Amino acid sequence: MSTRHREQHKLGTVGWLRAAVLGANDGIVSTSSLILGVAASHATHQGILVAGIASLVAGAMSMATGEYISVQSQADTEQAALAKERDELGENPKGEHQELTNIYIARGLDAALAKQVASQLMTHDALSAHARDELGITEAFSAKPLQAAIASAMSFAAGAVLPLLVAAFAPLEHLILSVAIASLIFLAFLGGLAARTGGASVLRGILRVTFWSVVAMAATAAIGALFGTVV
C-alpha cells in the first residue's frame, strides 16, 4: 500500500499572516490609543464613541488606500518587466534560451539537462518560464492591488472594532481601564497566534506586541490628560 508523502511548511502562511496581523494590530492599537486619549481628556461617553468610530473608518480607508497604491506600483513594475521580457523573446530567442539555460546550470543542473529543460519550458510557455525563473514572478504571488486593499481594510476594521465594543459597553468611570486591559488581551492573543502559526516563539511574540502597544496607549493617554478639559 503506497502512502503519499506530504510536508507541512510554515512559509506558505507568512505572506497573508503578516498582512492580517499588521492590519488587525494597527486597528487595535490605533483605535484603543485614540479612545484612551479622548477618555483621558474627560470627554463624554458619546464623544469617545464618535472618536472611536471615526478612527475605525479613517484607519480602514487609510490602510486600503496605502496598500492599493503600494501593490499597484508593484503590479505596474511587474507588467513593465513582463513587457520587456516579451520583446526580448521576440527579438533574441536564442539569447533568451541561453539565459534560461544558465539559470538552471547555476541551480545545479548539468549543461545538457539544463539546455533540455530550458527548451521544453520555452516550447510550452516561454514567457511564463522566464517570468518565473528569471524575474521571480508567478501567478500565485503576483501583485493584486484591489484584493490587497480590501484585505487590509477588513483586517484593520476587525481589530478596531474590538476596543470600540468595549468602550461602548463599559461604564464611563471604568472605561479607560477596561479598554486598556481588553486591548492588551486582544493584542497578546493576536501576537501569540501569529507567532505560533509562523513557527516562532509564542512568548516572544506576545511580549513584543504588548510592550509596544503599552507604550503607544500610555503616550496617547498622557497627551489626552495633559491637554484635556478639567472637570
Residue 10: which pLDDT band, with cuts at 50, 70 and 90?
A: very low
Joined together, the cell numbers standing for residue 222 give 498622557
> Using one digit for the tens of pLDDT, what is the confidence trace for 17-75?
666 777 888 899 999 999 999 999 989 999 999 999 999 999 999 989 988 898 888 88
Please give the mean pLDDT across all residues of the chain.
Answer: 83
In the predicted structure, residue 179 carries a pLDDT above the cut 80:
yes
Contacts of 121 (CB under 8 A, 6+ apart): 100, 129
Neighbours of 116 (CB within 10 A): 14
What per-residue confidence (pLDDT) applies to 25? Answer: 87
What per-residue confidence (pLDDT) applies to 19? Answer: 66
In the predicted structure, residue 103 carries a pLDDT above the cut 90:
no
Domain ranges for the chain, please list them.
17-227
**Sign of the C-alpha dihedral computed for residues 83, 87, 99 and 132 taken in this order:** positive
Residue 224, CB-side half-sphere exposure with 13 Å CA sphere: 21
Q: How far apart are CA 32 and CA 8, in angstroms?
A: 37
> Using one digit for the tens of pLDDT, what is the confidence trace for 108-136?
888 888 888 888 888 888 888 888 877 77
What per-residue confidence (pLDDT) applies to 33? Answer: 92
What per-residue confidence (pLDDT) applies to 13? Answer: 44
In the predicted structure, residue 7 carries a pLDDT above the cut 60:
no
Contacts of 179 (CB under 8 A, 6+ apart): 32, 35, 36, 39, 163, 166, 167, 170
Residue 11: which pLDDT band, with cuts at 50, 70 and 90?
A: very low
